[in-house]
């Protein structure tokens, strides 16, 4: 994820730390238990510890990017089909190729396929809610999925999470993993969500996708664009930075 000068000397833009959510945010109750409260301790990397993950186009299945088909058992998943696509860009807005992008999400009823999710909403036997792909030479990624539903989460009275999709990106080594969330434009729950409001106000719009008619597939699925910027003045806010 390094950028290069004309003399091929590696350079990196400074991190825009003021665009990321705090590790501990009063409105998001569980951060008080999992956010660090002591200074970080530098550790010497063991030999090979930061080697690049082993994956390639041959390791990505033909349906890994298509959440409407990668878990079908006896029919189509229920809900509104959608396309999620965008680019992964560096600090100079140049495309970043061969980045592993993974997503996970709730189903249309607002429930995850996970034993820890006991929300009183139905599971969809034909929807797993997880997918992955590699960016192409232009840094582009694309998923076909079901628009997730909102769900209660108990953080505060009458707390509901907005519709959202989680994204994880792996760069040149495992230590470069970045995790963020993508929201939908016009969601009325955004002003009440501490994961969203915990992000500095000037950077919140970078977490919201754009409806894109060019990505929309006629008679099939609406399209949403969400570009991920890794560093620099426009970098996407990430969790656990």
Q: Which residues are catalytic?
A: 112, 151, 161, 164, 166
Through-space distance between the first and last CA atoms of the chain, rounded to whole angstroms: 15
Question: Torsion angle of alpha carbons 24, 173, 137, 92, nearest 10°?
Answer: 50
Question: Are the CB atoms for 151 and 110 separated by under 8 Å?
Answer: yes
Residue ranges of E strands in the chain: 3-4, 10-11, 81-89, 100-104, 130-134, 140-146, 151-152, 160-161, 164-170, 178-183, 210-211, 222-225, 228-229
Output phi, psi for 93, to 5 deg: 60, 35
Task: Let me know if 79 is exposed, middle or buried by CB neighbors in 10 A (0-12, 13-18, 19+).
Answer: middle
The three-class DSSP label of residue 195 is helix
State the Cα–Cα distance between residues 127 and 68, nearest whole angstrom.
7
């Amino acid at each position: 994820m390094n950028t290069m000068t004309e003399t091929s000397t590696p350079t990196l833009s400074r991190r825009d730390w003021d665009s990321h959510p705090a590790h501990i945010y009063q409105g998001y109750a569980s951060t008080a238990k999992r956010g660090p409260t002591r200074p970080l301790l530098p550790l010497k990397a063991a030999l090979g510890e930061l080697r690049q993950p082993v994956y390639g186009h041959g390791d990505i299945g033909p349906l890994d990017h298509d959440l409407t088909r990668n878990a079908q058992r006896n029919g189509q998943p229920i809900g509104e089909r959608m396309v999620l696509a965008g680019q992964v860009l560096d600090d100079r807005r140049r495309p970043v190729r061969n980045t592993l992008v993974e997503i996970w999400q709730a189903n249309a009823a607002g429930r995850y396929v996970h034993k820890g999710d006991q929300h009183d909403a139905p599971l969809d036997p034909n929807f797993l809610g997880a997918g992955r792909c590699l960016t192409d030479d232009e840094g582009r990624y694309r998923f076909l999925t079901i628009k997730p539903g909102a769900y209660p989460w108990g953080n505060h009275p009458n707390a509901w999470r907005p519709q959202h999709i989680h994204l994880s990106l792996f760069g040149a080594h495992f230590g470069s993993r970045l995790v963020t969330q993508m929201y939908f434009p016009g969601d009325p729950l955004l002003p009440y969500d501490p994961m969203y409001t915990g992000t500095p106000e000037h950077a919140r719009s970078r977490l919201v996708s754009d409806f894109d008619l060019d990505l929309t597939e006629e008679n099939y699925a609406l399209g949403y664009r969400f570009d991920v910027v890794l560093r620099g003045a426009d970098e996407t806010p990430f969790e656990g930075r």
